[in-house]
Structure 1
């Protein structure tokens, strides 16, 4: 089955000479485009936690300025780990978190919960755990279908007015949902599942590009499946790179609003991921990757 139509004026048409390494989220918050997703970091006490500290500190030393976390990642434990590892935060570091998913007890399953009182409480707790007075980018983890969208987005808008949020983002939304939310408040970012082998949300990416909204693809390297595709492996061999690096380089060259946030719990994988920023695909290589068929 074919992929959706590529973006008008895509990097394939204009080449990769235009590519820049930073993006102004919300028009004024400049971050390095290749960030870090903290979800995979172990948070339990012991050697694994110390390794998590080493990974995230190495990321910052290597110039990462965008780190993504969420309340759902351990019920706030991931946020606490980042604060313990990095506070006081260096100038220019953005830690973005997400709210809107909850459970009533540790044994319960996570469920969407965008009720205003829940969103307010989760933001307050995130401020405490991250040790900040304002979250510069706060994203709604999912839209709760049982709570009016206006109540969910309106609550975040009110929190922004109160100075507790700097910018508002969404996650896993459709073009219609993005448009409805933008009718209530400015949206600075969208975090949808997207990678070289999964382009279902190409229309959302196109909408973000048209509006200058940052697009943070989660699962940016298809959980390591990229190397299983012969064409990707062939391009990787030609470029003397890994399939993961090819997948990340493809994302960075596909649209200037894409800010990949690959995650890992290993320093060597972190360094491999960040090296993809220096990789430039040739027009022929990009054409071959763009033409990969969608999985059945």
Structure 2
């Protein structure tokens, strides 16, 4: 492990600043063409970790990435998530991590991504009505069959992470976390202690006026954007953090990737640390 890279699961090396594909439009026409260009530009800029999910367009996001990037460049990791399905509900989705449902979603992801093995597969949410051992046992079976390389979790507590680690080797955790949203600080600490990759989603959040002003001040000192400073803070916060900012615009993507080269002084880091209060 170096400052800019991390080995997921102890062996899969990626650059720590990744790309979240959720915001890429997948419909036909000019919007889709722009999405394809953004995905390709991310790889050109050296991004080696791209995050997607079955839930993002119910497979359409996975298909978009395959259209843009297959055959995949050596060292490129396209990670996906399963365990959420479309439903007639106010949210439009529901949990479904029954073994048969997980296997079905994984088989679909393999086909959509045009691969024989998903190197990092994350459980999008723990299904509250299916025993955890059955959910993770199904993923472990797929791993044993060679269809999954490493298994991760998303939106889990420390207790849930501990229980999961009794059943499987957890390679990653994807929880909401940012400069202004540190509710999952205990989970980050647990991941750091265990060498587990921590992928913060929504890594750039809006803070209260005073906190936002402090962020803007640091950004001005560094001739950077507040978003870039937020990402630089995450990279500096812990060596296990792998931010996955998303965007549908190439210019914004280029700004985000450039944040990997931004260096905070100790004094700037201390000021930023004080802007967020862990829950």
TM-score range, shorter chain: over 0.9
Q: Secondary structure at the match of 1:160?
A: helix
Aligned to 1:96: 79
Aligned to 2:31: 48
Q: Is the 8 A contact 1:171 1:191 kept in 2?
A: yes
Report runs of 4+ in structure 1 exceeding 2 Å deviation: 103-108, 223-228, 293-296
Q: Is the 8 A contact 1:226 1:247 kept in 2?
A: no
Q: Secondary structure at the match of 1:139?
A: strand
CA deviation vs aligned residue, 1:24-68 (integer Å, no higher than 9, x gap): 000000000000000000000100000001101000001000000
When residues 105 and 169 of structure 1 are mapped into structure 2, their CA distance, relative to the original with a 3 A threshold, is same
Confirm or deny that 1:37 pairs with 2:41.
no
Aligned to 2:236: 253
Alignment of 1:1-296 (within 5 A): 20-104=3-87, 109-222=92-205, 229-294=212-277
Give the Å deviation of 1:182. 0.4
TM-score by length of 1: 0.91
Aligned counterparts of 1:241 and 1:31: Cα–Cα separation in 2? 25
Q: Is the 8 A contact 2:180 2:207 kept in 1?
A: no
Aligned counterparts of 1:292 and 1:227: Cα–Cα separation in 2? 8
Aligned counterparts of 2:210 and 2:31: Cα–Cα separation in 1? 27
Q: Is the 8 A contact 1:227 1:243 kept in 2?
A: no
CA deviation vs aligned residue, 1:81-115 (integer Å, no higher than 9, x gap): 00000000010000000000012479982011111
Q: Which has the higher contact order (CA 8 A, sep 6+)?
A: 1
What root-mean-square deviation, in Å, do the aligned CA atoms of Structure 1 and Structure 2 show? 2.0
Which blocks of at least 5 consecutive residues in structure 2 are unaligned? none
Aligned counterparts of 1:36 and 1:82: Cα–Cα separation in 2? 12
Q: Is the 8 A contact 1:227 1:244 kept in 2?
A: no
When residues 80 and 290 of structure 1 are mapped into structure 2, their CA distance, relative to the original with a 3 A threshold, is same
Aligned residue pair count:
279
Q: Secondary structure at the match of 2:170?
A: coil
Q: Is the 8 A contact 2:5 2:13 kept in 1?
A: yes
Aligned counterparts of 2:88 and 2:54: Cα–Cα separation in 1? 14
Aligned counterparts of 2:232 and 2:90: Cα–Cα separation in 1? 40
Aligned counterparts of 1:272 and 1:118: Cα–Cα separation in 2? 39
When residues 115 and 225 of structure 1 are mapped into structure 2, their CA distance, relative to the original with a 3 A threshold, is farther
Give the Å deviation of 1:237. 0.6
